[in-house]
Amino acid sequence: MTGFVPLEDASSFRRMAAAMWRAPRDPSIYGTMDVDATAALRFLADESAATGVKLTVTHLVARAIALALRDQPELNAKVRFGGRLERRTSVDVFVTVATDGGKDLSGVRIDDADRRGLVEVAAELAGRARGIRAGEDRAYRESRGLFARVPWWLGRAVTRVSDLLVNELHVDLAARGMPVDPFGSAMVTSVGMFGIDTAFAPFVPMARCPILLLVPEVRPRPWVVDGDRVEVRPVLRLCATFDHRLIDGAAAGRLARRLGELLGAPAALR
């Protein structure tokens, strides 16, 4: 019969930790995958030259996750009303954008990203990012203006009410900068420009998306070629946060496999 006795010799830190923290309730799981970026970088250089549009690894990853979710629609889901699981009928990818000289963050939701070509995704992201940074994007102005006017002690309440309206009740507040399901199917955040090698990010509580992908710097790393030879290759290390309520280890493995296939043969991402 199972029994329990007091842990008399617990350290002071353990006693303090037990008193400070509540029981775990966060469903996040984390994972990384390395991708040989040789073909991807060559493809991006060739396509940028051919189209006149500057294409980056972030564009490639955003397009790849959109196609991977199209192939596994059961992962393109959200949790509403504290436990109701619903599948999205479109694949929309939210790409984070730095604003105010890097002091603030916003982002662009690319709707139907699985149905749009890489150049179209890149052009829309670039155009809307310029509008946000120039203060010309209405949605950005409205959402930031609303929270700028709210006193700090009302911030949590306003955020919770906004979450209830746009995520639970699906009230369209686009005129106030908060459309229905504002963050879409997945979030993609690039941190490579900061020289970051490996990093993870937490879910934004209002996001309600099952996947958050960080895109670090592509770096030279040792890579096994043909099973018996080691070469130095440019390697992209994708870092993912998954909502375990929607994605388990097997599903994450299938998704990673598909991402690896797409990024390894990037012509499919056109």
pLDDT of residue 4 exceeding 70: no
* Residue 142 banded pLDDT, cuts 50, 70, 90: confident
Residues 89-97: what's their mean pLDDT? Answer: 95
pLDDT of residue 96: 92
Residue with tokens 């929607």: 246
Residue with tokens 């509540």: 22
Q: Which residues does 149 contact at the CB level (< 8 Å), separation at least 6?
A: none
- Answer for the pair 216, 241: CB distance below 8 angstroms, yes or no: no
DSSP state of 213: E
pLDDT of residue 22: 82
What are 217-233's pLDDT values in tens digits?
A: 999 999 999 888 999 99
Going from the C-alpha of 235 to that of each of 123, 125, 222, 226, the distances in angstroms are: 25, 24, 9, 16
How far apart, in whole angstroms, are the C-alpha atoms of residue 65 and residue 176? 28
How far apart, in whole angstroms, are the C-alpha atoms of residue 209 and residue 149? 27
Tell me which of 48-62, 143-157, 235-249, 250-264 is least confident. 143-157
* Residue 252 banded pLDDT, cuts 50, 70, 90: very high
Domain 28-134+180-269 classification at class level = alpha beta
DSSP state of 42: H
pLDDT of residue 198 exceeding 80: yes
pTM of the model: 0.91
What are 145-180's pLDDT values in tens digits?
A: 777 788 888 888 988 998 999 999 999 888 777 889
pLDDT of residue 3 exceeding 70: no
Cβ neighbours of 232 (radius 10 Å) = 9
Please classify residue 204 by burial: count the beta carbons closer than 10 Å to its beta carbon, then call 0-12 exposed, 13-18 middle and 19+ buried. middle
How far apart, in whole angstroms, are the C-alpha atoms of residue 187 and residue 177? 18
pLDDT of residue 1 exceeding 70: no
Q: Coil, strand, or helix at residue 44? A: helix
- Answer for the pair 43, 267: CB distance below 8 angstroms, yes or no: yes
- Answer for the pair 57, 218: CB distance below 8 angstroms, yes or no: yes
pLDDT of residue 18: 76
Higher pLDDT, 144 or 238: 238
The mean of the pLDDT values for the chain is: 90
pLDDT of residue 2: 62
